[in-house]
């Protein structure tokens, strides 16, 4: 137990270091851009008419305080970390004066609902079918699934999204192709809104699942194909152990470790949003928010989204690192 506690402390320290370095890099990159949010805001206001110099100077001071750009570079850096701790990324330039944190809080549930479902479904289906295909290598049906998976795997998911949009939005218009829900519905836990959200999420989720299943399928089939030739599996088969038990206990269980790592990385990465898929379907998630922030030069919004993404990916890796010694007995915790 003491060894595992020491292991947890080391992983937590690594997590803090990775998040610290990642956020610092994001801060440097966003502040190195030639876009000045203060001057951008002043230009937007003065474009509608002349303004007194005193008013512009007062506006500049207020905006510098809002964006944390007062004082020397060190004071700005300290102010930045204070905001990070409070989850306050300042006002959005593209949606001024709405706070960046409120925009992220509004978009994050859409991305979580869509991508967690699509990632988990594709992971389960891909690994199940891949495990079966790797063990029952002569099964014709599984061979056909393998051919389809290899055909879909290299296709970008936004191409699949466009094909689905054409088929189910124009040729056979049975599903909505844009937005997260119908515009005339009140958002909340009411049945019409839930049904609308589910209908609008079918095509984005399906485009992600179709590509994701192929990737997990190919990875799992390759792992299982190597494991079935190992001595303990061959011995179990010769000893007459039931094939279903061999597949579940000896083969798939041993092949899952790298797939679980991939799942953790995928779940951590969902905080980025499926950028292009969300834009194709006009889905109001983090991906759309990030693209809009980049186009508008809204570095506060970009900084907020990337910070959430860095923390999400690092947290996913941390969780799987802590679970590995518990789910895989072959991994020894260093004393």
Residue 31 lies in a domain: no
Closest to 258 in 3D by CA, of 226, 234, 296? 226
Collect all residues with Cβ–Cβ distance below 8 Å to 75 and sequence separation of at least 6. Answer: none
pLDDT at site 128: 87
What residues does 91 pair with on adjacent strands? 99
Residue 243's domain spans which residues? 109-297
The two structure tokens encoding residue 262:
């991939």
Is residue 335 domain-resident? no
Q: Is residue 317 part of a domain?
A: no
DSSP-assigned states of every residue in 69-116: --SSHHHHHHHHHHHHHTT---B-STTTTSBHHHHHHHHHHHHHHHHH
Q: Is residue 116 part of a domain?
A: yes
Cβ neighbour number for residue 322 with a 10 Å cutoff? 15
| Neighbour-count burial of 277, counting CB atoms closer than 10 A to its CB (0-12 exposed, 13-18 middle, 19+ buried) | buried
The answer to whether position 4 is within a domain reads no
Q: Is the dihedral of CA 226, 230, 232, 238 positive or negative?
A: positive
Mean pLDDT for each consecutive 10-residue tract of the chain (335 residues)? Answer: 76 87 82 69 67 72 72 80 80 76 85 84 88 83 83 78 85 82 77 85 85 84 83 78 78 79 70 70 82 76 82 79 67 56
| The predicted structure's pLDDT at residue 331 | 59
Instruction: Give pLDDT, residue 73.
Output: 79
Q: Domain count for the chain, please give it.
A: 1
Give residues with Cβ within 8 angstroms of 27, minimum separation 6.
Answer: 77, 80, 303
The residue whose two tokens read 């978009």 is 107
Q: Is residue 267 part of a domain?
A: yes
Spatial distance between the Cα atoms of 159 and 162, rounded to a whole number of angstroms: 5
User: Which residues, including other chains, have CB under 8 Å from residue 313's CB and lie 6 or more apart?
Assistant: 265, 268, 269, 271
What was the pLDDT predicted at 43? 72
In-domain check, residue 219 = yes
Domain with residue 250: its CATH number is 1.10.3720.10
Tell whether 278 is covered by a domain.
yes
């Amino acid at each position: 137990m003491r060894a595992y506690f020491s292991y947890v402390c080391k992983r937590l320290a690594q997590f803090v270091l990775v998040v610290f370095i990642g956020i610092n890099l994001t801060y440097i990159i966003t502040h190195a851009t030639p876009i000045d949010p203060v001057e951008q805001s002043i230009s937007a206001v003065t474009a509608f008419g002349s303004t007194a110099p005193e008013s512009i100077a007062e506006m500049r001071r207020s905006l510098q305080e809002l964006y944390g750009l007062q004082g020397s570079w060190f004071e700005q850096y300290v102010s930045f970390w204070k905001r990070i701790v409070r989850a306050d990324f300042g006002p959005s330039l593209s949606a001024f004066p709405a706070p960046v944190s409120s925009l992220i809080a509004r978009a994050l549930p859409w991305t979580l609902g869509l991508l967690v479902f699509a990632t988990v479904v594709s992971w389960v289906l891909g690994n199940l079918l891949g495990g079966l295909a790797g063990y029952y290598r002569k099964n014709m049906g599984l061979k056909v699934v393998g051919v389809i998976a290899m055909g879909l795997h290299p296709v970008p998911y936004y191409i699949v999204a466009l094909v689905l949009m054409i088929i189910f939005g124009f040729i056979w218009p049975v599903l909505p192709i844009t937005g997260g829900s119908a515009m005339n519905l009140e958002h909340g836990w009411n049945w019409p809104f839930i049904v609308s959200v589910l209908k609008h999420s079918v095509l984005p989720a399906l485009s992600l699942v179709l590509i994701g299943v192929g990737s997990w399928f190919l990875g799992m089939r390759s792992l299982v194909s190597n494991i079935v030739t190992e001595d303990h599996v061959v011995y179990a088969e010769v000893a007459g152990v039931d094939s279903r038990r061999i597949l579940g206990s000896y083969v798939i269980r041993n092949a899952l470790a790298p797939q679980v790592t991939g799942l953790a990385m995928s779940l951590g990465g969902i905080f980025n949003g499926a950028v292009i898929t969300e834009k194709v379907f006009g889905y109001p998630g983090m991906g759309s928010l990030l693209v809009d922030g980049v186009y508008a030069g809204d570095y506060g919004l970009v900084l907020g989204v990337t910070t959430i993404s860095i923390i999400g990916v690092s947290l996913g890796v941390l969780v799987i690192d802590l679970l590995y010694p518990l789910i895989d007995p072959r991994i020894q915790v260093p004393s």
